[in-house]
Amino acid sequence: MNSVRWAYIVLEDLRGLCPDSGALRRWVNAAFPDNPLLHQHDPVQGKPVFQYPLIQYKIIEGLPLIFGIEDGVEEVREIYIHTSEGGVRLGPAVIQRITIKEGSSSLGESEPQQYYFLTPWLALNKENLNKYWEEKSWSKKKELLRGILIGNILSMAKSLGIMIDFQVRIRTMLDILKVEIPGHHLVARGFDGVFEANLELPPLIGLGRHVSLGFGTVAKETGNWTS
């Protein structure tokens, strides 16, 4: 069974003080400027690295957190250690209350699992946005979204070195909504709701576009994602 390592830190001192995930990323990068994974730029050329983000900045129910997967786990641990020992300043606050949770989760076939989006899923790029609006049938719109979500999962798994060798089956119950993208001065169309998939996903993993800013974060419908 394929598995991936993950970890996230919860920044209780920033509750209500962080306007969006873009601000959280800027504050962390200012405090830890020499960690390339934190800002997803090539350390030599300074250009953006276009791959699945191993560090993801999220604000869930008003609570800021930093999520790392695979190599990103070490970065999350380093932030936790430095912050715990020295009270690192992030934006307007010196962080004194910080918790970490980490583990290893399978990423493979399972009985159908139900997941819900804790943050809006940005499924549509310019090309498939046009397809979505041009399609009159809701069932075909739903089929388009289903295919995109499967593609997101396969792409994420491949970037983590895991090949999905079974047919991914998904059912969705989604609603469309407008979403502002932090730092980009853009308003996009996103989706929230629930989906069912025949595979196990790591907790708080991100799917879709702008994952580094926390969009498309999923969790099992337990009612308590921090447990």
Tokens linked to 69: 């997967």
Mean per-residue pLDDT over the chain, rounded = 88
Residues 81-104, mean pLDDT to the nearest whole number = 87
Q: How far apart are CA 160 and CA 142, in angstroms?
A: 27
Nearest 10 degrees: CA dihedral of 48, 51, 55, 59? 90
Asked if the model's pLDDT at residue 21 lies above 90, the reply is yes
Q: How many CB atoms lie within 10 A of CB 157?
A: 20
Helix (H, G, I), strand (E, B) or coil at 122: coil
Query: Residue 2: what pLDDT?
Result: 83
Q: How far apart are CA 76 and CA 38, in angstroms?
A: 9
Cross-strand pairs, 206: 217
As a whole-number percent, the residues of the chain with pLDDT over 90 amount to: 61
Asked if the model's pLDDT at residue 11 lies above 70, the reply is yes
Q: How many CB atoms lie within 10 A of CB 134?
A: 8
pLDDT band at residue 226, thresholds of 50, 70 and 90? low
Asked if the model's pLDDT at residue 130 lies above 80, the reply is yes
Longest dimension (CA), the chain: 57
Dihedral sign for Cα 25, 41, 202, 187, please: positive
Query: Residue 225: what pLDDT?
Result: 58
DSSP 194-227: EEEEEE---TT-B-SS-GGGTTTBEEESSS-TT-
Q: How many CB atoms lie within 10 A of CB 23?
A: 20
Q: How many CB atoms lie within 10 A of CB 108?
A: 16
- In 3D space, the residue among 8, 119, 162, 128 whose CA is nearest the CA of residue 73 turns out to be 8
Query: Residue 122: what pLDDT?
Result: 95
